[in-house]
Structure 1
Amino acid sequence: DGNKRWAEQRGMESHSGHDAGLHALVGVMGLCAKWGIKVATFFLFSSENWRRPTAEIDFVMWRFQKMLVDELDNFMRQGIRISTIGDTALLSDSLQQVLEHTKEATQSNTRSHVIFAISYSGQDDITKACQSIAMKVKDGIIDPKDITKSLIEQQLETKITAT
């Protein structure tokens, strides 16, 4: 939404805002590595964004994929590790492949861990965590009195921020 508003305020097409947003993102990622920020999560595409026009979604996804390919060498040089949270199965096969390649290539980088939230919903994450815990209780793996804040955190996708 912010990229689109930024472009509209300047009398530009929404794709110009998305381009500017990705350019700014790459710059901020570099600063995270330079300044020693160990973990940063960037919300790139919420689950609600799928309601946007198809042409806009396609452009955003194509541009994101291009950025990953173009910037991989920089991520390696800067020591940036890439991870994702969210339902990436909704992405195109080609974008899923590029994301997987990027994550695998950068997994040993330690200067800064950048997490892209893509098609991520916090409410869905909490729901899935509760369902997982409920199944463990049902199966007798854990006792309901053993459900703690820590146990819930361990079931969330966002647990990767601790690594």
Structure 2
Amino acid sequence: MTVLASQPNLSDLQAVPRHVAIIMDGNGRWATLRGKPRTMGHRAGVEAVRRTVEAVAEIGIEYLTLYGFSTENWKRPESEVSDLMGLLRLFIKRELATLHKNGVRIRIIGDRARFDDDICELLLNAEERTKGNSRLNLTIALSYGARAEITDAMRQIARSVAAGEIRPEAIDEDMIASHLETAGMPDPDLLIRTSGEQRISNFLLWQSAYTEFVFDQVLWPDFGREHLEKAIENFAGRERRFGAVI
């Protein structure tokens, strides 16, 4: 990963979202179209992650959340899951020092219980090492499912009610949000999904209530700064009313 530029060139962009979330889709199709195994698509997808993190930081976006691995992805063939875990290990080991040097804070959301111990240790180390950084907040959703996240939040609140710590009447949207894994983060302003699919696949369901969506035909391994800027231009041209009349 190259050193991030300090001065973004935003002359052609009217507005920059504070928080961008991306569903990185299309690695397998990218590989199939080229007659390559799916694992090669995932490896190319890692390069797209590198490009995107650099571009986001240069543009000045504060928060980037990437859907790296869903709870449903565990159902994929064992060999593919194993390769994905290997790529995760490699990415953290190779990129952590550069990310830290460039002021990127790493945060992981999702259920870590199914990961091997060494991966859990790598994830924890990445979070601890970068927790003081503030240039870009990079959140990676791993073994993540929004329904499970919301369910777990409800369980936490229910236990507090049962213990007499809070009254049911005190439960509001802010309390629920504070029990989600994204507590303390702003909701996404813009969500991008690549590969042409037009669904959010159990990703940030609560947080995306008023998010703007852009569905791009490009397959994730081919995603670059030009696609990001096009999505931001699309976002900048929209009128966000949040349910009100302006």
Partner of 2:147: 123
Partner of 1:30: 54
Provide the rounded CA distance (Å) in 2 between the counterparts of 1:149 and 1:14. Answer: 41
The size of the alignment, in residue pairs, is 162
Provide the rounded CA distance (Å) in 2 between the counterparts of 1:81 and 1:155. Answer: 21
Runs of 5+ unmatched residues, structure 1? none
Q: TM-score, normalised by structure 2?
A: 0.63
Taking only aligned residues, the RMSD between alpha carbons, in angstroms, comes to 1.2
Provide the rounded CA distance (Å) in 1 between the counterparts of 2:57 and 2:102. Answer: 6
Question: Moved runs in structure 1, 4+ residues, more than 3 A?
Answer: none
User: In the alignment, does 2:119 pair up with 1:95?
Assistant: yes
Partner of 2:199: none
Question: Over residues 132-159 of structure 1, what are the superposed CA-to-partner deviations in whole Å (9 max), with x where a residue is unaligned?
Answer: 1111111111111111000000011121
Residues 96 and 19 (structure 1 numbering): CA distance in 2 closer, same or farther, change over 3 Å? same
Code of the aligned partner of 1:44: G
Q: CA offset at residue 89 of structure 1?
A: 2.1
Q: CA offset at residue 33 of structure 1?
A: 1.7
Aligned with residue 128 of structure 2, among 82, 94, 104? 104
Partner of 1:86: 110
User: In the alignment, does 2:172 pair up with 1:148?
Assistant: yes
Provide the rounded CA distance (Å) in 2 between the counterparts of 1:133 and 1:89. Answer: 21
Partner of 2:162: 138
Provide the rounded CA distance (Å) in 2 between the counterparts of 1:100 and 1:129. Answer: 21
Code of the aligned partner of 1:132: Q
Identity of aligned residues (%): 36
Question: Over residues 25-72 of structure 1, what are the superposed CA-to-partner deviations in whole Å (9 max), with x where a residue is unaligned?
Answer: 111111222222111110100000001111111111111110111111
Partner of 2:83: 59
Provide the rounded CA distance (Å) in 1 between the counterparts of 2:127 and 2:152. Answer: 23
User: In the alignment, does 2:73 pair up with 1:49?
Assistant: yes
Partner of 1:18: 42
Deviation larger for 89-98 or 60-69: 89-98
Q: CA offset at residue 160 of structure 1?
A: 4.5
Runs of 5+ unmatched residues, structure 2? 1-24, 187-246
Q: CA offset at residue 10 of structure 1?
A: 2.1
